[in-house]
Structure 1
Amino acid sequence: MLFKDQVDFVRQHIKKNKLRVFMTVLAATMGCAFLIVLASIGFGIRDTMRKEILEDQAITEVEVYTNDGEELEISKISNVEYVDAIVQRTRIGAMAVSQLGDRSIEGATLLTNFVEEEKSNLKLSEGRMPTKDNEIVVGYQFAENLLTDEERKAMEQSTEEDAEPIGGFKESLIGKTVSMSLQSYESEEAFPETWDFTIVGITEKPAKDWLVDTNMLFDESWKDKFQEVYDANVEGENIDLFYSSTKIYTSSLEHVKTVTEELKEMGYSVYSVSEQLEQLDVFFMAFKIGLIFVGTIAVLIASIGIFNTMTMAVTERTREIGVLKAIGASPKLIQRLFLMESAWIGVIGTVLAVIISYAVSYLANWILPMVVGAALGEDEFQDLSMTFSLIPWQLVVVASIISIGVAMISGWRPARKATKIDVIQALRQEL
């Protein structure tokens, strides 16, 4: 029997039992669609979290920590392959009070090497990198927190429900000169020594809305001067005023893992995006396997319907099977005919399931943000780029293999039963 004749044979018998086959295909479709949609939730949440991680910090950044107070060997680290920049930021353990006219701000002061900062691709929303000792870069929210005494009192009296910010410096800070002095956390008065600095750059807006960047970045050459002034105004033994953190920047994200492993071999404690992503991938791998397992149960339930359909098909076609055997059809041919029918049910159900799954995924990503936003009373939530469902092609392939494979297995037993039908008894059966 030619392959075309085999296909016609299967098609004719499917047409005779349209309703029963339709219900079986529907069950297979629902099972496969449930598997894809359920697993797509894991892929969607993972994709959202990866985006959040990569937006929160530099993707080529590696934080390095020493053990037991040891000093970093910068020269040795700089020789590591793929290391583009080594940024050491030193935080001053004293309050910095900055004055611009009748406005002032109390904030954190960081000492850094601007040459290395530029190599690390420090992003500025406005201005340029400093080239002189008396030039500085300030944080994105520095201007809006530069307040007068009246504005500060009004802010203290305001409530969280007040939508509009109170006061702040409205003009551009680029080119403005601020007067800065240090103040001990134990004292209410600033030290008499003051320095004038020109603002030449403003950092980029933080990735998160709740982050407030009011830092002031100075050249590291000021370290000794600040320490000297602090020691002169604070009684007691000399206190180490500075707390340093070191971040290494690689040439690309793909080299972060290599650099991280080499730094670990050198005895340093490190943290990088690659390690966080690896931990995230391990967690969601287990999560997705669990979801696929639960979805596979739905496919197995649908397979019961396929098994019943194919068993009834064998029973109803006993005489036809006998005729096929009488004219010389081999057991393999008969088995193939019934397996083709069960495979047809699996393929059609899988194709419909994939189409439905993509439609459900699209609607979920469109509607759920609005529903959740309305339920929580937060309009901003609707604007978030959150992915509730994501269907990669790998998921479609795995789900298709599971669905069609289960359909073939469900039809295998009835197909084997058809090959064992006795020819004489089958021909004696009344139509």
Structure 2
Amino acid sequence: MKLSDQIRFTIRNMRKNKLRIFMTVLATTMGSAFLIVLASVGFGLQNSLIEEASSHQPLTQIQLWEKHEDGVHQEIDEQMIEEIKAMEHIKTVVPRSTVFQMDVYPSISLGDYQSGGDVIVTDFEAEEESNLSLSDGRFPESENEILAGYHFSDSLISPETAEEQAEQDDPYVYEAEGDYTGSVLGQEVTISFVDWESGDIVEEETFTIAGITEAPARDWSRDGNLYVAGEFREQFMGLTGQDLMYTDINAHVTSVEHVENVTNDLKEQGYSVYSISEELSSMNMFFNALKAGLIFVGTIAVLIASIGIFNTMTMAVTERTHEIGVMKALGADPSSIRRMFLMESSAIGFMGALFGVMIAYIVSIGANLIIPSILASTTGSETETFNITFSAITPELVLTATAISVSVAMISGYRPALRATKVNVLSALRREA
């Protein structure tokens, strides 16, 4: 019997009992939809947490602190940085030094306005290689050009506001809301180094803001700092009395797939490091186990629906005993008969999976729209606060659910199909069609 004939017979037989087939497909649909929606919660939460974690730090970035060698803790110096840069798959290393307030403190002013932001000395060439993004302007091209943080203009306060702040608190700590209007791009900024005791200006430098950094990934994070070229590192840190040490060192790897190997190599050399890939690895391990558990629970619903498939196929074999006998008498081999019934059961499973995917998508979209609104209304917060994907249906999940549904349907239909191949021809022909 040709495959086309088997398919035609299968379709014809399914049309004979539309209601029964419909109810069986409906049960399979509900099982498949439950499986997909349940597992999609794991996929959705995993995507949201990974997106949140990776937005705080680039996936190719590795943070370094100190080096441990022979039980001795060493601060990372220029030589070590050059050695790290020479390592395989290292794209660049960005060393930063924050100018702290000690005997002498840095004071930032733009005209009459003052800022409480930090002065950070960095390597602009390395910053550009690390793909530091700017919201406006360009990278500095000379020593007297600097970058301003995205919120630098918000940190600038007028003399009147500064006076009010001084009456309430430390005159050199500006916590008031900035009242500067306009863009700071192209404006001249003066960094003065003031003696804590006398209030005298020890030294000052004037810079031009060439660019403004992009907004921080964290909504609550504020970047009101000034970024100065590395040539001023010794001068500025010497004025405040700091040790010449780097406060923030980030190594950038050429691609994500090399991050783990580079991280392990740095650890073997004694460096204290952290990369988001380590956190994501643990997170993925947890969510993979969670998703496997959710899929297992969802599969139970499909198995329950398979009882209906078994009953439907068993009744189909009983009703078609005469037809099976005729096909056998005409020379149909048992494998062709078994294949026809397996095709029918698998078709039920496939249709159930297909409709289940449609329903799951509708439920998933509705959940992502409604749940944040419910949480916002119950907590009195803005809907944007709950920027979480509660349900995400991926192609892998759809294929997995379809494979499970079809496989379970074929397993449920196998015994009735096997029974059909054992129908006695003479007994079947005596029965009326």
- TM-score of the two chains, using structure 1 as the length reference: 0.83
Distance 1:191 1:246, change over 3 A: farther
Identify the match of residue 189 of structure 2 among 168, 177, 183. 177
Larger displacement relative to structure 2 (110-119 or 372-381)? 372-381
> What is the root-mean-square deviation of aligned Cα atoms in Å?
3.2
Question: Residue by residue, what CA displacement relative to the aligned partner does 1:275-320 show, whole Å, maximum 9, x if unpaired?
Answer: 3332332222212212211111111111011011112222333344
Q: Which residue of 2 aligns with 1:393?
A: 395
CA shift for structure 1 position 334: 3.0
> Could you list the runs of 5+ residues in structure 2 that have no partner in the other structure?
169-175
CA shift for structure 1 position 31: 1.1
- What letter matches 1:352 in structure 2? F
CA shift for structure 1 position 182: 4.7
Q: Which residue of 1 aligns with 2:417?
A: 415
Aligned residues of 1:138 and 1:199 also touching (Cα < 8 A):
no
Aligned residues of 1:92 and 1:241 also touching (Cα < 8 A):
no
Distance 1:18 1:117, change over 3 A: closer
Aligned residues of 2:155 and 2:177 also touching (Cα < 8 A):
no
Q: Which residue of 2 aligns with 1:116?
A: 126
Q: For residue 13 of structure 1, give the secondary structure of its aligned residue in structure 2.
A: helix
- TM-score of the two chains, using structure 2 as the length reference: 0.83
Q: Which residue of 1 aligns with 2:406?
A: 404
Q: Which residue of 1 aligns with 2:99?
A: 92
Q: Which residue of 1 aligns with 2:218?
A: 208
Q: Which residue of 2 aligns with 1:13?
A: 13
Q: For residue 139 of structure 2, give the secondary structure of its aligned residue in structure 1.
A: coil
Q: Which residue of 1 aligns with 2:230?
A: 220
CA shift for structure 1 position 409: 0.4
Identify the match of residue 295 of structure 2 among 273, 283, 292. 292
Aligned residues of 2:368 and 2:390 also touching (Cα < 8 A):
yes
Give the whole-Å Cα distance in 1 for the aligned partners of 2:216 and 2:111: 27
- Residues 227-306 of structure 1 aligned to structure 2 (within 5 Å): 227-231=237-241, 240=243, 244-306=247-309
Q: Which residue of 1 aligns with 2:342?
A: 339
Q: For residue 69 of structure 1, give the secondary structure of its aligned residue in structure 2.
A: strand
Number of positions where the alignment pairs a residue of Structure 1 with one of Structure 2: 413
Give the whole-Å Cα distance in 2 for the aligned partners of 1:347 and 1:136: 62
- What letter matches 1:139 in structure 2? G
CA shift for structure 1 position 27: 0.7
Q: State, as a whole percentage, how many aligned pairs show the same letter.
A: 45
Distance 1:205 1:183, change over 3 A: farther
CA shift for structure 1 position 197: 2.4
Distance 1:3 1:86, change over 3 A: closer
Q: For residue 41 of structure 1, give the secondary structure of its aligned residue in structure 2.
A: helix
Aligned residues of 1:331 and 1:419 also touching (Cα < 8 A):
yes
Distance 1:182 1:258, change over 3 A: farther
Distance 1:420 1:206, change over 3 A: same
CA shift for structure 1 position 373: 4.1
Aligned residues of 1:155 and 1:166 also touching (Cα < 8 A):
no
Larger displacement relative to structure 2 (76-85 or 372-381)? 372-381
Aligned residues of 1:183 and 1:191 also touching (Cα < 8 A):
yes
CA shift for structure 1 position 154: 7.9
- What letter matches 2:73 in structure 1? G
- What letter matches 1:310 in structure 2? M
Q: Which residue of 1 aligns with 2:179?
A: 168
Give the whole-Å Cα distance in 2 for the aligned partners of 1:216 and 1:258: 34
Distance 1:108 1:312, change over 3 A: same
Give the whole-Å Cα distance in 1 for the aligned partners of 2:161 and 2:290: 51
Q: Which residue of 1 aligns with 2:205?
A: 196
- What letter matches 1:388 in structure 2? F
- Residues 150-169 of structure 1 aligned to structure 2 (within 5 Å): 150-151=160-161, 153=164, 166-169=177-180
Aligned residues of 1:130 and 1:136 also touching (Cα < 8 A):
yes
- What letter matches 1:345 in structure 2? I
